[in-house]
Structure 1
Amino acid sequence: MAGAEPWDDEYDVVVAGSGAGALTGALAAAGRGLRTVVLEKTALVGGTSAYAGAAVWLPGSQVQQRAGIGDSTESARAYLTALLGEAEAERREAFLETAPEVVAFLERDPAIDFAFRPFPDYFAAPGRSAAGRSFVPLDLPAERLGELAALVRPPVDRDRAGLGHPEGPLSAGRALIGRLLLALVTTGNGTVRTGTSVTRLIVEDGRVTGVEAGTADGPVRLRAARGVLLAAGGFEGNDAMREKNGVPGAAGWTMAPRGVNTGEPLLAATAIGAATGLMDEAWWCPGVAQPDGGAAFTLGFHGGLMVDASGRRFANESLPYDRMGREMAAGPGRVPAYLIFDSRNGGRLPAITVPGRPAEEHLAAGTWVRADGLAELAELIGVPGDALTATVERFNGFAATGVDEDFHRGEDPYDRFFTGASPDGNPCLVPVDRPPFYAARMVLSDLGTKGGLRTDPDARVLDRDDRPIPGLYAAGNTSASFAGRCYPGPGVPIGSAMVFAYRAVHDMAGTGTSRKDHS
């Protein structure tokens, strides 16, 4: 698209999206004195990052050093290499090299503070950290953010209900977004424009020089003298794109805010020749089906067992959520699956769900069912009664011995992380033997797609001949993840988005550390 028409406004850097990666890139640009604008499609800032627990996986940083956990870039390299092999080796090295620098850069700003929080890495592989490598932002008092607090997306349960923030400080993902937003605005060089959705990239003489964006008042043309950074999430909210690319699940089951992440920036880039990768991939998780047709992110199973349409177990229910999601996607009859549990905890779900809904709402909607016997429960969920009864009896036998002979539940540190104080035996194997019994419908949810634009170590978007498209960069779920088909540990999506957005800005400013010529 030629740029003959006049610009409505001019910036050095245009950033599409307002999640943790986008705001880190914007802060890196504004902190260097570059006039920067963040374009957010909705009226609220933060995207899926605002819903997150905000674990950030940036190994070898000063946060881990303060905590004294013995983490290092070298051990993280061993871990990632064991999981990923030599695929994406250049981007992996760029990530590892830059992660400590990003943390130091962010913590130099008085608005940003992190603290280590134990959360195990997701695979038993060389270099794994028993305590994990992720850290979280400190809670942010709302009064410190002032009027900007109204821009931050509320927690998922309140946001879906059309409510604002709860009383008290902003925590988890809201704290991360709030801190980055405060730091950005304080630079004096950063602007946030909400209700502004990128629809086209403007190309002049082979270089991306700006964007066309839709607003309530019509389209606007915004110049980007140094570059455009696309960090606006994936396409998990677009059922047509999911179907076209073979992404399991459904837009209604994703954990992204509703009505967002429908892929327009990605499509704008492919329209000018950008290459894509991993387009059938996502960051998976089991989801408890919700009365409104949505799903709730579910992790930390500390009881119950999950069965498929045959009435039999198919995986270790305590697996890290992406791994369990992949097990659900791997076989027929596993979506929906059913979590079978009993009344030992008053009929409460033996897992963490975000958002959570009262059992009474689920029972009234039919997303959960309850019965005095297993045969009756099986009839209610449409699985063979003899198979379900035999499955539960076998599982209860494992609970008695403390050994899951089928799927080894409770043998990995991650399995036990959510069980609290461990009683004698295997705390992950709790018998299901106290009627009435419950079955909760489980669907395949996700934290976002992870396929998108192919990029180089400096987040430059590549064309279909593997050459960088001048002026165009991508990070986060708008890009194809360097982690490929693996989810190494808590906070990798956020951490990698932050690193590559940061590297993109350094390249725009002429200070990038990777200068390999792909042309």
Structure 2
Amino acid sequence: MTTQAGTFDAEFDVVVVGSGVAALFGAAAAASRGLSTCLVEKTDRFGGTSAYSGGAVWLPGNAVLARDGLEDSVDTGRTYFRAVVGDRTDHDLQDAYLNTGPMVVDFLQDTLGIPTRFQAFPDYFDAPGRQEVGRSIYPKPIKGEEVGERTGDIRSSVPSDQFGSPEDTARLEGGRAWVARLVLALDGMESAELWLSTAAERLIRDDDGRVVGVEVREGSGLRSIRARRGVLVAAGGFERSTELRRRWQRMPTSDWSASHPDTGSGDAVRMFDEVGARLDLLDQSWWCPATLFPNGHAAFTLGFRSGIIVDGAGRRFANELLPYDQMGRRMHARMDDGAGEEFWFVFDDSEAGGYPAICVPAPDPEQLRAAGLWHTAATIGELAQAIGIDPDVLAESVTRFNGHAAQGRDDDFGRGEDPYGRFFLGASTAEECLRPLGGDRLHAVRLVLGDLGTKGGAVIDPNGAVVGTDGAPIPGLYAAGNSSASVSGEAYPGPGVPLGSGMTMAFRAVADMAGKPLPVNPAPVAR
């Protein structure tokens, strides 16, 4: 869409589309520079998929890590990142992310006053430069009374947002804490305006092809907003578009994504396509195993303390203690190999019938049993019949795993050999992660391939500018977060890469809009 000067309904220096952590951080970076900034969010709550996250932010070598006693550096993080990601994304883009990370943390603390802390959560790959305790920082929780009247504008937690649990606003943690603290910071800036229930419909270009604004819908009406310096799109991916998930990712549904049904509908990728942006990584997501619930939604599940995971044929196919994205990729591969979309978590009564995994909300056995998603039986044969699996195949899988447990070594998939797998069990050896299945009752709970959002979108340069199909940046257009093709390519290096890279590239995009682009390789600063 093109427009002529003077036909806009409102004008700002910067327009930000979306309200996840990357979008809010970008808006705060712009407003703190004195740039008039308008952030538009299509739903009635701030936060997007970021509000559902644990809140980890992966930025190697930052001041918070040093303050909290972790020895780390940007170069060590680069060694690790490069070993994991390789050449799948441009090295200048990778360096822009990694080298700018410490500046992002300094801005969080010194300019925005947001308190942060290091919290252990291992890096996901056994590669040079890995931190076995991780290198992620988190926001300190914030009380609802501190958020005040804005509390109702922050997206609810997963249990209340998707599964009907009572909403708890007494204390906001993780991603919700980031969202709340950033919204409060923006509320304190005179140059920032935040518009809820305002959906971006299309990008506006001038006759020279520069993106100069956004057309938005408020209720039944359309408005055009001019962006004098640029438009930053950080509106999530297309995780909630069944059509796009089927087309690009061979997924049967979008209902299993850990995002709100009203977010991640693919608006960003559609708008990018309309202006000739280059797109990449459309077949990729931040994958994870997920427990299927009666309402058709699925909840992110990790930290399997016992039991095994089998495919629809009853065969174990991976180390259950893999980092969740890697386990999700194994599940996707099984689906592509024709094993179907059905997976089962098989475990015994060693936790008194409880669920031996981390899942929020915790599944209610009776509700899942009524929906045919949780089966209980006295024998392997009976359990196999209940879930429609060949009893001999399931029995063979259990017997073989029990043999591994007896010898204290998983010869098939190496369960418990990596520090990540031992982390959630508080284990120091692989043997502690191998508990045989047995007892009077066995359970099988339905798992599906879930995700924490898609990671494909517009290709960006080191300044966060969207690259066109001709290889040149599209003037006035920037992207960050899951609206952009991830800087980590097809890999998920560690907890907090999605938020950390989104915040960093939004920060760099704003600097470019302000006419003060940040160097890819800045001179070292003495601390």
Q: CA deviation at 1:246?
A: 2.9
CA positional deviation for 1:308: 1.1
Alignment partner, residue 501 of structure 1: 506
Query: Which residue identity lines up with residue 258 of structure 1 in the other structure?
Result: P
Q: Provide the TM-score with structure 1 as the length reference.
A: 0.97
Give the counterpart letter for 1:11 in structure 2.
F
**2:16–2:37 contact (8 Å) kept in structure 1:** yes
Change (3 A) 1:334 1:121: farther
Shift of 1:154: 1.0
Once the two structures are overlaid, the 10-residue window that deviates more, 315-324 or 75-84, is 75-84
What residue in structure 2 maps to residue 70 of structure 1?
A: 71
Deviations 1:469-509 (A, max 9, x none): 00000001101001111000001001100000010000000
Unaligned ranges ≥5, structure 1: none
Q: 1:142 aligns with which of 137, 144, 147?
A: 144
Q: Does the 8 Å contact 2:162/2:297 carry over to 1? A: no
Q: CA distance change for structure 1 residues 247 and 32 in 2, over 3 Å: closer, same or farther?
A: farther
CA–CA distance in structure 2, aligned partners of residues 468 and 421 of structure 1: 49
Q: Secondary structure at the match of 1:347?
A: coil
Q: 1:359 to 1:111 in 2, by over 3 A?
A: farther
- Indicate whether 1:356 and 2:354 are aligned: no
Q: How far does the alpha carbon of each residue in 1:214-263 deviate from its partner, in whole angstroms, 9 at most, with x for none?
A: 11141111111110000000001001111222343521000011121111
CA offsets 1:324-351 (integer angstroms, 9 cap, x no match):
0000001231521111001111111211
CA contact (8 A) 1:247 1:281 kept: no
Report the CA distance between 1:421 and its aligned residue: 5.5
Summarize the Cα distance change of 1:182–1:292 in structure 2 as closer, same or farther, 3 Å threshold: same
Tell me the residue number matched to 1:315: 318
2:467 is the alignment partner of 1:466: no
Report the Cα offset of residue 283 of structure 1: 0.5
1:276 corresponds to 2:283 = no
Q: Which residue does 2:181 correspond to in 1?
A: 179
CA 1:351/1:182 → structure 2, altered by over 3 Å: closer, same or farther?
same
TM-score with structure 2 setting the length: 0.95
**Given the alignment, which residue of 366, 378, 385 partners 2:384?**
378
Q: Which residue in the other structure is 2:81 paired with?
A: 80
- Partners of 2:340 and 2:63 in 1: how far apart? 43
- Cα 1:400/1:484, change in 2 over 3 Å: same
- Which residue of structure 1 lines up, in the alignment, with residue 8 of structure 2? 7
2:235/2:482 contact within 8 Å kept: yes
- Aligned length in residues: 515
Q: Classify the secondary structure of the residue corresponding to 1:253.
A: coil
CA distance in 2, matches of 1:367, 1:439: 8
Q: 1:131 aligns with which of 133, 139, 152?
A: 133
CA–CA distance in structure 1, aligned partners of residues 176 and 252 of structure 2: 26
Q: After TM superposition, list the pairs within 5 Å mapping 1:7-406 onto structure 2.
A: 7-87=8-88, 88-109=90-111, 111-161=113-163, 165-204=167-206, 205-248=208-251, 250-331=253-334, 332-333=338-339, 335-406=341-412
- Aligned-pair identity in percent equals 47
Following superposition of structure 1 onto structure 2, how do residues 412-423 of structure 1 map, counting pairs within 5 Å? 412-420=418-426
Counterpart amino acid of residue 196 in structure 1: T
State how far apart, in whole Å, the 2-side matches of 1:347 and 1:53 are.
27
Contact 1:277–1:451 (CA under 8 A) maintained in structure 2: yes
How far, CA to CA, are the matches of 2:165 and 2:306 in structure 1?
32
Mapped contact 1:197–1:213 kept (Cα < 8 A): yes
Residue type matched to 1:114 in 2?
T
Offset of residue 435 of structure 1? 2.5
- Counterpart for residue 524 of structure 2: none
Q: CA contact under 8 A between 2:58 and 2:497: conserved in structure 1?
A: yes
Q: Which runs of 5+ in 2 are unaligned?
A: 522-527
Letter in 2 for 1:456: D
Considering only aligned residues, what root-mean-square deviation do their CA atoms show, in Å?
A: 1.6
Summarize the Cα distance change of 1:342–1:202 in structure 2 as closer, same or farther, 3 Å threshold.
same
